Amino acid sequence: MPATEFRTEDWADYRMDYAHPHREIEPLEREIAVVQKALEALHEASALPHTRYDHDLMLAHRRAAAELFEIPWTAISPRMGRLLYAVNAIARPENMIAAGVFCGFTFISNAGAAVGPGACYQAKNLIGIEIDPDSAALAERNVRRIDPTGAARIVAADAVPFVADFPDPVNLLYLDADGDSTTGKGVYLDILEGCYDDMPPGSLVLAHNSVNCAGMLRRYLAFVRDPAHFRASVNVIFDPEGLEVSVK
């Protein structure tokens, strides 16, 4: 299956306010329809077994995050938040790791399918890794408000060694770390290489910024789009950031 792309006509004009991420950009029905088409493209590429998820649970998750999370800024648009929730709700990863979670909103957009009021399954590990201690503390505070059980947790660490040393197979890896001044988003490939060999067939890797950071991600994108490494890889382009979804 070759690398492929899902693109909406309005992707460049669908712009969010990073400081007010919950502000409506389009009618909910339109958001649901766009994300559904993206899920169908992922299903056709064999990345997902089906495209069904509970829309009421998704809204319960969104409302809780809007109410309980302190978010200085985020580039996760409502379309992207819905897609991340839906992919996790459909794939139901036993072990999910999110690398580079800043205040935790990206993390909960994934983990919200398994904890809090939007939960639709139980996971074994839901871990967000953040290298900056202050951001990690904020993310952990946010996550605790939505998941008092501790099932989802934030670890203050460098995702490169953390993922390489993780003892269980990673079923879903979400990449958003921006590395240091030399690596930038190129650090995605370093993180992925640490767990790639142990990822079971059907595992997913979701890489944020596949559009606006495509230059920095050149080596990463070449790796995941090589059929020797991943069965399929779909670039989802429905906002200016984009998400590369790769299935092993």
Ligand X SMILES: C[S@@+](CC[C@H](N)C(=O)[O-])C[C@H]1O[C@@H](n2cnc3c(N)ncnc32)[C@H](O)[C@@H]1O
Contact residues: ligand X, CB under 6 A: 74-76, 99-100, 102, 105-106, 129-132, 135, 158-160, 176-179, 187, 208
| First-last CA distance in the chain | 11
Cα 16 from chain centroid?
17
Q: State the nearest-atom distance from the C-beta of 150 to ligand X, in Å.
A: 20
Q: State the nearest-atom distance from the C-beta of 69 to ligand X, in Å.
A: 11
- Token representation of residue 26: 């389009």
Q: State the nearest-atom distance from the C-beta of 202 to ligand X, in Å.
A: 25
Q: State the nearest-atom distance from the C-beta of 132 to ligand X, in Å.
A: 4
Toward ligand X, which CB reaches closer, 31 or 178? 178
Q: State the nearest-atom distance from the C-beta of 80 to ligand X, in Å.
A: 9
Toward ligand X, which CB reaches closer, 74 or 203? 74
Toward ligand X, which CB reaches closer, 45 or 166? 166
Toward ligand X, which CB reaches closer, 95 or 110? 110
d(CA 244, CA 78): 17
d(CA 76, CA 104): 11
Toward ligand X, which CB reaches closer, 116 or 179? 179
Q: Which residues pair with 96 in a beta bridge?
A: 126, 172
Residues sharing a CB contact under 8 Å with residue 114, sequence separation 6 or more, in sequence order: 88, 92, 96, 120, 121, 122, 123, 126, 151, 152
d(CA 91, CA 89): 6
Q: What are phi and psi of 131, to 5 degrees?
A: -80, -25
Edge-to-edge strand ranges of the sheet holding 152-156 = 4-7, 232-237, 243-247, 204-208, 172-175, 95-99, 125-130, 152-156
Q: State the nearest-atom distance from the C-beta of 179 to ligand X, in Å.
A: 5
Three-state DSSP state, 148: coil
Toward ligand X, which CB reaches closer, 111 or 232? 111
